[in-house]
A and B are shown apart, each in its own frame.
Chain A
Amino acid sequence: MSHEPLLTVDNISKSFGGVAALSAVSLDIYRGDILGIIGPNGSGKTTLVNTITGFVKADQGRVVFKGQDITNWKPHKIADVGLTRTFQVMRPYFSLPAYKNLIIPLFSPRARRTGGWRGGGKTGSRDTVAVDILEEIGFERDSYVPYKVASSLPTGYLKRLELARCLSLRPELVICDEVFSGLSMSEMASMVPLMEKLQMEGITLIMVEHRLRELFRIANRLVVLNFGCKIAEGTSEDVMEHKEVKEAYFGSEEVFGYV
């Protein structure tokens, strides 16, 4: 682990009208980490993701990625430098088969530049690469799942498709906005090793989650948000013991157990 953080969020604030969605949130993430961001509903998690990835303009503060100030860049430029994100509400191209969904990111300047996943000019080869990525991420090639129309796929596959879209850009940092939500227990059980595999491959992950049990298994560090403020940071044990966190979730001194 290098000492230079891969991503630094420095005092980011954002308000919608009179509502402060984020107030002076700062965090660092180092290469190879899995950082979890948790917090009750409406605590500003998704706004934080949107601000980092350029979908929402920050009112103040800085976002630095690989030593480069990327505050308020256009979303496509941020994706182009290797910072990609999934959407909480899945956004596939519903009318296209699953593997054709990946043609679009594979066609992007970054995918063509970084090679690796790239198809070599001919149309057919980009399709092959797309199916390979899907298989790696858990679409069973033999059962023709990659060839099914995206609108006919269940939530579990759509979440994976979101991840696959990020991976086809060969990202350095992926921000996963609630990849576990809406999944069945078995789907979740297969998702955890997948995230660990991505970490092994050298991809840094930020996971915004409600499913704390799964998150605690894989995250090195956690950041807790409440009403747009960072109220705690540290390992899962530290955070769980934190008084403010318990209050944020339960409002009192109750045991912080099952969520």
Chain B
Amino acid sequence: MVSEKKDRRKERLDRGIKVRTDGVYAVSSWLEMSYLLAPRLIFILGLLALPVLLYHLPYWQRVLSIICIYALLAIGFDFLANYVGLVSLGGGFYIGVGAYIAALLNTKLGLPPFVTIPAATFLGAAICTLLFLPCLPLRGVYFAIVSLMFPLLAARVIEAFDIFGGTDGILGVDGFGAAWMEQYLLLISVLVVVFVLRRLVDEDVGLVFRGVKDNDQAVKASGINITTYKALGVCIASALGCLGGACLAHSYMWAGISQFALDFSIIPIAATVVGGGGTLIGPVLGCLILVPISELLRDFGTLRIAVYAIILTGFIVFKSEGIMVYATRKYEQLERWVQI
């Protein structure tokens, strides 16, 4: 082993395109363009093909919808945590607010799903942002704790005052017309959100968000109100959660206090850790891995939490950077053995 290492060494080279695109975006040949496009196309087409592949497996179609809902939450979590600097455990609250608004609009006003879903997204985002506004000066673990209170509080309030159907929830919500409509609505939302947010964080306004995370004092000293940008960040993240929640309500044809469940706050974090924080695509991959595992382990009952914990611990200890960061690095770097 030692002698083997003596006469050869590993050489690492950055692929040409990366060197050139670091500063100026220049695409010169089909080969390099395909090199950039290939992973994106695999991701997009792969996701779009999933409903077709799962055509004969209605149970897994349902799982796919859940994956997408978790993915929306996880993207929102990743954006807030790694670009705005707010670790939000309020995922369950966003889902619940979205679900209840969609269900109320549908059952009380008789609005169809294609109206209630956008309405729940925007109205829900506005409500969540308003409620989070007093907590925005908090940072780090304090914000995390307060944001975790929201879903717990909401569920208890609905239970105690017996409003919105109390513990029974709101029944009789319209379903989607067809399963494929639900899946494609969610899949396309995930894809649009991922690519729009990835573009946004590299724009000038995205730099301001990153400034708030890196160093909020300097942003203040630059004459920018950081509360505005934090609120905007929460608004974006909660809009994604409410979109997921509204789809969930129409998918299950029901909205209830179990939609404020802690799962919606915790699994996005796990997905972000596994997928790679700060990549925005990573959390989607994380959900694609974790949610099916969680479904497969359903037979083991509560033991699945233990398996979950082991997977998470493994990732944090051995690959804390996450799948996406690791894969990007390997993809952009050529490795080869050179004889000495």
**In the assembled complex, A220 has its CB within 8 A of some CB on chain B:** no
**Given known A93-B215, A93-B218, A107-B207, contact A147–B23 (CB-CB < 8 A):** yes
**Given known A107-B205, A107-B207, A123-B203, contact A91–B215 (CB-CB < 8 A):** yes
The distance in angstroms between the C-alpha atoms of A166 and B222, with both chains bound, is 7
Contact check, A92 vs B218: say whether CB atoms are below 8 A apart: yes
User: What are 22 of the A-B contact pairs (CB < 8 Å)?
Assistant: A75-B217, A76-B224, A77-B225, A79-B221, A79-B222, A80-B223, A84-B223, A87-B217, A91-B215, A93-B215, A96-B214, A100-B207, A104-B224, A105-B223, A107-B224, A108-B222, A108-B223, A109-B224, A123-B203, A126-B204, A165-B221, A168-B222
CB-nearest residue of chain A to B228: A76
**In the assembled complex, B210 has its CB within 8 A of some CB on chain A:** yes
Residues of B within 8 A of A85 (CB): 221
Within A100-136, which residues are at the interface with B (CB < 8 Å)?
A: 100, 103-111, 123, 126
**In the assembled complex, B226 has its CB within 8 A of some CB on chain A:** yes
Within A49-92, which residues are at the interface with B (CB < 8 Å)?
A: 53, 55, 74-77, 79-80, 84-85, 87, 91-92
Against A, the Cβ 8 Å flags (1 = close, 0 = not) of B216-237 are 0111111111100000000000
Contact check, B221 vs A84: say whether CB atoms are below 8 A apart: yes
CB-nearest residue of chain B to A113: B223
**In the assembled complex, B208 has its CB within 8 A of some CB on chain A:** yes
**Which of A74, A91, A94, A165 has most chain B Cβ within 10 Å?**
A91
Interface residues of A (CB under 8 A from B): 53, 55, 74-77, 79-80, 84-85, 87, 91-96, 100, 103-111, 123, 126, 147, 165-166, 168-169
**In the assembled complex, B166 has its CB within 8 A of some CB on chain A:** no
**In the assembled complex, B292 has its CB within 8 A of some CB on chain A:** no
Closest CB in chain B relative to A50 CB, distance in Å: 10
Contact check, A75 vs B221: say whether CB atoms are below 8 A apart: yes
CB-nearest residue of chain B to A91: B218
Residue in contact with A93 in the complex, picked from B210, B223, B226, CB distance below 8 Å: B210
**In the assembled complex, B211 has its CB within 8 A of some CB on chain A:** yes
* Count of CB-CB pairs between chains A and B under 8 Å: 84
Residues of A within 8 A of B225 (CB): 74, 76-77
Within B158-186, which residues are at the interface with A (CB < 8 Å)?
A: none
Closest CB in chain A relative to B217 CB, distance in Å: 6
**Which of B23, B217, B219 has most chain A Cβ within 10 Å?**
B219
Contact check, A87 vs B221: say whether CB atoms are below 8 A apart: yes
Residues of A within 8 A of B23 (CB): 147
CB-nearest residue of chain B to A94: B214
The distance in angstroms between the C-alpha atoms of A76 and B23, with both chains bound, is 31
- Interface residues of B, count at CB 8 A: 20
Closest CB in chain A relative to B181 CB, distance in Å: 37
Contact check, B221 vs A110: say whether CB atoms are below 8 A apart: no
The distance in angstroms between the C-alpha atoms of A76 and B141, with both chains bound, is 25
Contact check, A96 vs B223: say whether CB atoms are below 8 A apart: no
Residue in contact with B223 in the complex, picked from A87, A100, A147, A169, CB distance below 8 Å: A169
The distance in angstroms between the C-alpha atoms of A107 and B206, with both chains bound, is 11
Contact check, A55 vs B207: say whether CB atoms are below 8 A apart: no
Known: A55-B220, A108-B223, A169-B223. 12 other contacts (CB 8 A): A75-B217, A79-B222, A80-B223, A84-B221, A93-B210, A96-B207, A103-B204, A104-B208, A104-B211, A110-B223, A165-B221, A168-B222
Residue in contact with B210 in the complex, picked from A80, A95, A109, A111, CB distance below 8 Å: A95
Contact check, B218 vs A165: say whether CB atoms are below 8 A apart: yes
Residues of B within 8 A of A74 (CB): 220, 225
Contact check, A104 vs B219: say whether CB atoms are below 8 A apart: yes
Residue in contact with B221 in the complex, picked from A53, A94, A95, CB distance below 8 Å: A53
The distance in angstroms between the C-alpha atoms of A9 and B333, with both chains bound, is 58
Residues of B within 8 A of A79 (CB): 220-223
Question: Which 7 interchain pairs have the tightest Cβ spacing?
Answer: A79-B223, A105-B222, A75-B220, A108-B223, A104-B211, A80-B223, A91-B218
Contact check, A76 vs B204: say whether CB atoms are below 8 A apart: no
Residues of B within 8 A of A168 (CB): 222
The distance in angstroms between the C-alpha atoms of A94 and B215, with both chains bound, is 9
Closest CB in chain B relative to A174 CB, distance in Å: 11
CB-nearest residue of chain B to A144: B23
